[in-house]
Amino acid sequence: MRRLEDIEEVCEDIRREYPTMPWRRIVGLRNVVVHHYFGVDLSVVWVIVSSQLEELNEEIEKIIEKEC
C-alpha cells in the first residue's frame, strides 16, 4: 500500500515521460482502499493484486532504476 501512496507524489515530469502507466487508476485504487469509499469489494482487490500488481511493480522498479 505504501508504494501506491508514493505514486500520488510522483512528479508531473515522470508521469508525462511514462504515459502508458495507469497513474490515475493507481491513485484511484489507493484512495478507494485507504478511505473505504462505498466499501471495498475484496474480490475485486484480489483480482487486481493477483493479476496486475506484479507487472505494475516491475514497471515501477524499471522507472526507479532509470530515474534514480
pLDDT tens digits for range 10-38: 778 888 899 999 888 888 887 877 787 67
Average pLDDT, the chain: 81
pLDDT given at position 6: 64
Can 35 be counted among the known catalytic residues? yes
HSE, side-chain direction, 13 A CA sphere, residue 61:
6
Mean of pLDDT values over 41-59: 86
Q: Is the pLDDT of residue 1 over 60?
A: no
Catalytic residue among 15, 16, 24, 30: 30
Indicate if 30 belongs to the active site: yes
Neighbouring C-beta atoms of residue 7, cutoff 10 Å: 20
Catalytic residue among 2, 16, 35, 36: 35
> What percent of the chain is modeled with pLDDT above 70?
85
Kindly state the greatest CA–CA separation across the chain.
Answer: 37
Looking at the chain, the number of H-run helices and the number of E-run strands are: 5, 0
